[in-house]
Chains A and B, each alone.
Chain A
Amino acid sequence: MVDNNKAFHITINTLLIILSLGCLLPFILLLMSSFTEESVLVREGYSFIPRGFSLAAYKYIFSSSGKILRGYGVTILITVVGTALSIFLTLLMAYPLSRKELPGKNIISFFIFFTMLFNGGLVPSYMMWSGTFQIKDTIWALLVPGLLMNAFYVIMMRSYFSTNIPDVLVEAARIDGANEFKILFSVVLPMAVPMIATLALLIGLGYWNDWQNGLYYITSRTELYSIQNILNRMLQDAQFLTSGQAGSNAAELAKNLPSVGIKMAVAVVAILPIMVIYPSMQKYLVKGITIGAVKG
């Protein structure tokens, strides 16, 4: 029995180690490739154990090309501003809906919930944002469409308020003469920090990783590209070139095209902040995922 147990635990550990390695290996390939000499990459391709170490790709990113650093700046800006705005809007929406006595609460809740069931899709949204709101090639395009408020997060926050903020506290503050805004920001908000951290993490991840808004709405002012859009564009150009559709532009394109290693280095730079922050935020992420699923 004891031996059987030992064998069993070795087996499940082995399985999980294989799975974990499966998750990590692609990143290791990416990382190794970004540190490989260009000539080795051209000759031998991307490899886990590269034969020539080089920092050239990173030197290129941080010195000669302002474009990539700029994209990094854009990403940081939209992530910070977008997350802050989004959390602010979510709090403002969730707090009133968590008050049982609010007239019209159910209608408004349904109004929010319905956006999760039915939507107009890309064509009307695109026409509205680019036509009516003239959002194309502005920084707003990366901040506003789709990402600013998520019905699901409002519902999660509302449930958190309903179950974790005692009515007595809110009532007491009201009797003390505090207005509703004061109650929200000085009584309720401090008690909701874990939930705010969880949602901020999910929303921030959404902004950091978003590339679709840039793909749809940033077409000529490429200085507004986020790091994800730069990555997207680099791969598209490479594909365009190898597919032979480029024709007479090929030489021009090839000259500007980042080399094999630099592509991988930019991808590393794009995921680095996530990997650095992730271990300390893992707890909140797991919480967000599980609460979201249960409350769904």
Chain B
Amino acid sequence: MKNVEKSKNPPKKMKFGKSVKRFWPFYVMLAPGIIYLIINNYIPMLGLVIAFKKIDYRLGILKSPWVGLSNFEYLFKTSDAWVITRNTIGYNLIFIALGTVVAITVAILLNEIKGIRNKETYQTLVLIPYLISTVVVSYLVYAFLSTDSGFINNSILANLGVDTISWYTEKKYWPVILVIVYLWKSFGYSSIIYYATVIGIDGSLYEAAVVDGANRWHKIKDIILPSLKGTIITLTLMSVGRIFYSDFGLFYQVPMNSGPLLDVTNTIDTYVYRGLLQLNDVGRASAAGFYQSMVGFIVVLAANLLVRKIDKENALF
């Protein structure tokens, strides 16, 4: 066998030489992007080891001493780990459930509208919130909720004769506020995705249904919803894969980093940011970051595996 391989080698080498000559421009093209990904993505992956070190900025990352699991002990000893995990996963589950229902409803409504102009106008309008930064979203929320000059306190509660509310210090309202803000910003985007699937449905299916005497409700239940199955699975899988991640801006900027609200607004991402850049607690921040990366990765793989079992063609990989 070895001899056979050896005798095969020379022509292969020639082929290799030829392919280098032919393909080198492609590798030159790929180089800048690959270098960027190595720096921007792969080096930080290796950098996750700092969760096992006590970072001393004077010594640098490599020379800082190893401390085993003590950063993790430190993180999981407090209630922080539980609170940020609960908030991150809890909000994401609500976002996924309500977001999907709202998006599908809007997609079906858009499909029922007569006239291309109308459809386009509505599509244009519902996408507007998706276009703006979270910072601007926090201004919009502030215009409504500001204690001194907010619209709700000044124009609604005052006129009703109800006591004004100090929105940015009362944590009981924030789970609802955050869900509303999230839905407001994202429903247009996901509706458009579902709508694209709905308009792709073969028209003859509807005609056949009408002949069979189906009404609108049957049309939705028996034709539209089953056709959306693939899209629902794909989008839900993508969201579930990100269940350990949160929109930093939504949980940090929209509640204006307000201390009294932390119990219901602190997620893994805001916790890592505060630990790293505000509290100078790199140990706990890096432990929480490591926890997020690892569990996040496992969740993506698990979600994909699950979908591959149920419905292979909708799996991501």
A residues whose Cβ falls under 8 Å from a Cβ of B? 8-9, 12-13, 15-16, 19-20, 22-24, 26-27, 29-30, 33, 41-42, 44-48, 89-90, 92-93, 95-97, 99, 102-103, 108, 111-113, 115, 117-128, 131, 144-146, 148-149, 151, 154, 179-181, 184, 205, 208-212, 216, 228, 231-232, 235-236, 239, 242-243, 260, 263-264, 267, 270-271, 274-275, 278-279, 282, 285-286, 289-290, 293-294, 296
Contact = CB atoms under 8 A, between A and B. Distances in A.
A289 B189 contact: yes
A118 B297 contact: yes
Contacts of A90: 33
A46 B168 contact: no
Contact of A127 (B50, B144, B155, B269): B50
Contacts of B307: none
A181 B293 contact: no
A120 B289 CA distance: 8
B132 interface: yes
Nearest to B149: A45
A122 B109 contact: no
Given A24-B128, A263-B139, A119 B193 contact: no
A293 B193 contact: yes
B204 interface: no
Given A41-B149, A263-B139, A228 B133 contact: yes
Given A45-B150, A146-B40, A270-B136, A95 B33 contact: no
B228 interface: no
Contacts of B126: 19-20, 23
B192 A290 contact: yes
Interface in B243-283: 248-249, 253, 256-259, 269, 272-273, 276-277, 282
A12 B33 contact: no
A124 B44 contact: yes
Contacts of A146: 40
A145 B41 CA distance: 10
Contacts of B61: 127, 131
Given A89-B36, A149-B33, A243-B258, 4 more contacts: A122-B276, A127-B61, A210-B133, A211-B253
Q: Give 6 closest A-B pairs by Cβ, nearest first.
A: A124-B47, A120-B44, A45-B154, A209-B133, A96-B26, A180-B25
